[in-house]
Amino acid sequence: VIEEYRDNRYRIIIKEIPFQQQRDKIEERIAELVTEGKISGIANIRNESDLKEPVRIVLELKRDADPEIVLNQLYEYSPLQQTYSINLLALVDGKPRLLNFKELLQEFVRHRVTVIRRKTQHLLSKARQRKHTVEGLLLALANIDEVIRVIRTSETQAQAKERLMAISCPAAMLARALGDEGFAQFQKERGIAEEYFLTPVQADAILRMTLGHLVNLEQEKLASEHRSLLENINEYNRILSDEKNILEIIKEELTEIKNKYGDPRRTEISDQEVGSFNIEELIPDEMMVVSISSAGYIKRTPVSAYRAQRRGGKGLKGARVDDEDPIEHVFLAGTHDYLLFFTNLGRVHWRKVHELPELPRDAKGRAIVNLLNLQPEEKVAACRPVRDFSLPDHYLLFATARGLVKKTELSAYGRPVRGGIIAIKLREGDELVGAVVAKKGDEVLLATAKGMAIRFRESDVRPMGRAAAGVKGISLIGDDRVVGLVVAEPDACLLTVCAHGYGKRTPFGASTVASGTEEDTENGDERETSTAAEEALEEEPSVEEPEAVEGNGDEEGEVGSQFYYRTQRRGGKGIRDIKTDARNGPVVGVAVVHEDDEILMMTAKGKTQRLRVSEIRLVGRNTKGVRLMTLDEGDTVVAVKRIPAEPGNATESRE
């Protein structure tokens, strides 16, 4: 128990110890853990056990210690919590199966039903046999002198049996011996006749009896036994007539056991460990850089491992990669976040970030197939950290390379399944490139590899089911493809990064709505309308977007209100975001950034660059931008991610 013994000072009092553990050993082990530093926050350990309290170990905590965390550390590292294995393997229909508790109880009840049914059937068979024998004895008792004479005068047992079966008994005499109910049942089985004879089975039973037993037969005892057998037979038939009767017997047996061994249960069956133990309480909530290579190797590294550098640097050595296995995905997430892995087959898998292998920044990583139950030919296409799936009016918004977008309620993805669940229906030749969490009233921006961008409201995309394909978000020109999806923030900027290490930062600006198209492709049918205003959105007038000045690679343009990303209707061709040419290369990623943020870039060969956003000057849209990272020959930037100014609040970020 935890109790406060002084102002803001707590102590943990241990009053029970696990089975097979010793009080002194536990005290010594706790002291060792405190010395080793595995358990922090304990100031003093005192053993106050006596005859009245056989176990009382007092742990006084430091002033700044959280008693719940210390208690969970004790459960985790000390012998205060012990694990005992239980084998729930059972034979089900002759085959071994591993059962859960509910299935185990169901199989136990099913087994007891089978046992009781077989037992009752056996007792019924024995009772019927005995009833038949008793009826034969009553028949013999009616002519006992003749029966004895026949047995004495017969030369062989077979002759005696044949002669006994010829002895008759009047129906009236047998009726008096069996009683009305017994005789009625007898007639139902043997038929109505004026006289009755012994059956072969009854004759054999009489011949097996000694003469002493035969002459000592009492009619009243036999009649009483016959009545008792009839009652038992009726009861057995009642039990076998309905399974509910068998279940009632099981309840009575369990009640009898409960009354006999009625001590209160000392153990508790729970889906949590002692003290509502949660391993996450032992794990600090910190930001992690998670990277996945194209061959499917994954790792997480603390953000603190990447120090900030000045713009234009060559970066730090990151993951060790082969030329055939470049880095494909990089993102930031808190250790307590859920990580949604969206695959090329349109499925989504779950993992907690702290469950991923934590490795140095230059490590290659571990194979992701050891963490996720992926199907053959299935690989990760995008990832998204989520902290809470129950947020109202929050959606997962997807974008594909061919310009489709889809919006589904976030809660639809909150039920993990071992083999993953359907996330989005992908068309042939298309792939998932991004997923963001958007709330009601947000606006999103799609960016393409050739430097186009379109900003539209999330309300332009109606909510769909998980298996839907989506609707058109942007009309692509030629072989252009979507490379990024972000939630537009009016007070933030859009950072655009190209493959050759160049990029720029441009404000989103306030929301203004233009007309556009409407298309619905959830069920495969397309309806598209086009307006003159939409055609005008294909490119910005040249007067608004001056060409960047060619120079040494650090060109910068002026910023004015005419260079903001205005809001359009989805489905248009968008506006120019950045010039993509031989110097810049195609756009590889976009991110929403604020002045106090930092960004993390990673190259295909594993180099990483951490850069302060404030070092990137604000420029207009239709410019080439500035050098952000100097690359080695043959290397290219593959991803860019934002590092929030306050990592503890990083879960608010959506990009």
Confidence check: pLDDT of 554 > 90: no
**Are both 508 and 631 inside the same structural domain?**
yes
Last residue of a domain, one of 77, 100, 123: 77
The reply to whether 87 falls in a domain is no
Q: How confident is the model at residue 116 (pLDDT cuts 50, 70, 90)?
A: very high
The reply to whether 84 falls in a domain is no
Q: How confident is the model at residue 543 (pLDDT cuts 50, 70, 90)?
A: very low
What residues have CB less than 8 Å from 235, skipping those under 6 apart? none
Instruction: State the burial class of residue 437 (Cβ atoms within 10 Å of its Cβ: 0-12, 13-18, 19+).
Output: buried
Confidence check: pLDDT of 188 > 90: no
Q: How confident is the model at residue 537 (pLDDT cuts 50, 70, 90)?
A: very low
CATH number at residue 166: 1.10.268.10
| pLDDT score at 545 | 37
Who has greater pLDDT, 591 or 643?
591
The reply to whether 206 falls in a domain is yes
**Are both 66 and 116 inside the same structural domain?**
no
**Are both 403 and 471 inside the same structural domain?**
yes
**Are both 375 and 455 inside the same structural domain?**
yes
Q: How confident is the model at residue 212 (pLDDT cuts 50, 70, 90)?
A: confident
**Are both 361 and 432 inside the same structural domain?**
yes
| Domain coverage including residue 7 | 2-77
pLDDT tens digit sequence for 368-395: 877 787 877 777 877 778 888 888 888 9
CATH number at residue 18: 3.30.1360.40
Lowest pLDDT segment from 70-84, 269-283, 326-340, 427-441: 269-283
CB atoms within 10 A of CB 197: 16
**Are both 15 and 124 inside the same structural domain?**
no
Structural domains of the chain, count = 3
| pLDDT score at 600 | 82
| Percent of the chain at pLDDT exceeding 70 | 83
Q: Which residues pair with 527 in a beta bridge?
A: none
Last residue of a domain, one of 77, 98, 128: 77
Confidence check: pLDDT of 91 > 50: yes
Confidence check: pLDDT of 501 > 60: yes
Helix (H) or strand (E) holding 422, with range, is strand 421-422
CB 635 within 8 A of CB 605: yes
Lowest pLDDT segment from 244-248, 274-278, 617-621: 274-278
| pLDDT score at 99 | 92
pLDDT tens digit sequence for 514-525: 544 444 444 333
Confidence check: pLDDT of 34 > 50: yes
The reply to whether 467 falls in a domain is yes
Residue 342 and residue 349: Cα distance in Å, rounded? 7
| pLDDT score at 527 | 36
| Percent of the chain at pLDDT exceeding 90 | 27
The mean per-residue pLDDT over the stretch 346-350 comes to: 84
Q: Is 228 left (phi over 0), alpha (psi -120 to 50) or beta?
A: alpha
What residues have CB less than 8 Å from 596, skipping those under 6 apart? 613, 614, 645
Residue 178 and residue 200: Cα distance in Å, rounded? 20
**Are both 498 and 600 inside the same structural domain?**
yes
**Are both 187 and 310 inside the same structural domain?**
no
**Are both 73 and 112 inside the same structural domain?**
no
pLDDT tens digit sequence for 593-630: 999 888 888 888 888 888 889 998 888 888 888 999 99
DSSP string, 543-560: TTSPPPPPSSS-------
* Residue whose C-alpha is closest to residue 81's, from 13, 16, 177: 16
Q: How confident is the model at residue 18 (pLDDT cuts 50, 70, 90)?
A: confident
Residue 101 and residue 631: Cα distance in Å, rounded? 58
**Are both 319 and 374 inside the same structural domain?**
yes
**Are both 72 and 117 inside the same structural domain?**
no
| pLDDT score at 515 | 45
Confidence check: pLDDT of 474 > 80: yes
Q: How confident is the model at residue 14 (pLDDT cuts 50, 70, 90)?
A: very high
Report yes or no on whether pTM surpasses 0.75.
no
Instruction: State the burial class of residue 308 (Cβ atoms within 10 Å of its Cβ: 0-12, 13-18, 19+).
Output: middle
The reply to whether 277 falls in a domain is no
| pLDDT score at 246 | 95
Q: Mean pLDDT over all residues of the chain? A: 80
Lowest pLDDT segment from 220-229, 255-264, 539-548, 571-580: 539-548
